[in-house]
Structures are given as C-alpha cells and as structure tokens.
C-alpha cells in the first residue's frame, strides 16, 4: 500500500488552519508558500478537504480556508479518506488464475489471502480513527500557540 503525499500535506494544512490566530481564513497562497508546493496543486488538496467537510472555503477579499470542525472531531481516518477515498485498497487482479492450474485451490487460497489483507485494512483504519488532529496540537498538556500564518509567511518572504 502506498499513500499519496497529499495525505501528509492535508495533515499539515489542517494543522495550519487549526493554529491560525483567531481562526481567520487563510488564503491558499499563504499555505502553498509555507509548504513549498504549487498553489494549483494545493488547491486540488484543498478541494478534497472541502468536499469531505473538513474545511470551509470562503470567497472574497478576506476569504480563504478555515476548519469546519474542531480539531478533536477530525480523525486521521477523516483526513486519509478525504484524500484517498473510502473504498477498500484491497483488490485482486486475478493473476493467480493465470499461474496455477488447480482452480478450486486457487479460489480458496485467494480468498484466504484477501481476508488477511482486508483484516489488515480494517485494523489500519481503526487505528487512524483513534488518533485525532487535536493530539498533534498539544505537548505535555499544553496547547500549541496560535500563529498568524499570513504575517509569518510574509515576513519569511521579505
């Protein structure tokens, strides 16, 4: 299984939005500069976060992106599924039927192998469900300070 880089970027985006001072909207250009990714690519990730209901997009001069849910309500599973989708990552390409001759044995062993992968996927998703965004924002019972990302990124680029 290979996860898209967009999952890591989505986590970083959500951390930026969660720590934004006064929960003011952040423009995609600020986020893309901070993460060193193209604005057009970032907008694709943002769209997936908006469609999944994790982020709100506000248009206008003072618009941008804000969290739609509290960090404690956003699990790693929400983020993973926003980017990767909710479908199972376990699939068979039916290659075994082209290699082995005993088709009855193939079917039972194929089912056995797929069951192992389905079980692993279930455990993977259960673990992601147990870990939320808020846990990334606290250090030894101390919340991470809020940041004015717009000001910080502007100062870095000056």
Q: Does a structural domain hold residue 150? A: yes
CA distance 86 to 64: 27
Angle at which helices 76-84 and 39-51 pack, to 10 degrees? 110
Q: Does a structural domain hold residue 42? A: yes
E runs forming strands in the chain: 55-58, 64-67, 138-139, 142-143
Q: Could you tell me the CATH number of the domain that includes residue 78?
A: 1.10.10.10
What is the separation of C-alpha 69 from the centre of its chain, rounded to a whole number of angstroms?
14
Specify the DSSP class assigned to residue 64: E
Q: Does a structural domain hold residue 103? A: no
Q: Does a structural domain hold residue 72? A: yes
Q: Does a structural domain hold residue 122? A: no
Q: What residues form DSSP beta bridges with 55? A: 67
Q: Does a structural domain hold residue 56? A: yes
CA distance 22 to 53: 20
Q: Does a structural domain hold residue 34? A: yes
Distances (CA, A) of 13 to 31, 45, 91, 100, 138: 7, 9, 30, 47, 17
Residue-level pLDDT at 141? 65
CA distance 131 to 20: 21
Rounded (to 5) percent helix, strand, coil in the chain:
60, 10, 30
Q: Does a structural domain hold residue 136? A: yes
Written as tens digits, the pLDDT of the chain (158 aa) is 678 899 999 999 999 999 998 889 999 999 999 999 999 999 999 999 999 999 999 998 889 999 999 999 999 999 999 999 999 888 877 777 777 777 777 878 888 889 999 999 999 999 999 999 999 988 766 667 788 888 787 777 76
User: What is the extent of the structural domain holding 31?
Assistant: 5-89+132-156
Work out how many domains the chain is built from and give that number: 1
């Amino acid at each position: 299984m290979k996860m898209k880089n967009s999952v890591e970027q989505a986590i970083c985006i959500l951390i930026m939005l969660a720590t934004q001072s006064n929960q003011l909207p952040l423009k995609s250009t600020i986020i893309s500069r901070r993460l060193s990714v193209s604005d057009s690519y970032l907008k694709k990730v943002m769209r997936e976060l908006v469609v999944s209901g994790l982020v709100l997009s506000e248009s206008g001069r003072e618009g941008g992106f804000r969290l739609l849910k509290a960090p404690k309500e956003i699990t790693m599973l929400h983020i993973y599924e926003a980017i990767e989708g909710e479908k199972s990552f376990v699939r068979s390409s039916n290659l075994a039927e082209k290699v082995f001759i005993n088709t009855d044995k193939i079917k039972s062993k194929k089912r056995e192998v797929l069951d192992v992968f389905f079980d692993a996927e279930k455990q993977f998703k259960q673990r992601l469900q147990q870990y939320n965004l808020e846990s990334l924002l606290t250090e030894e019972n101390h919340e991470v300070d809020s940041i004015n990302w717009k000001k910080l990124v502007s100062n870095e680029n000056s």
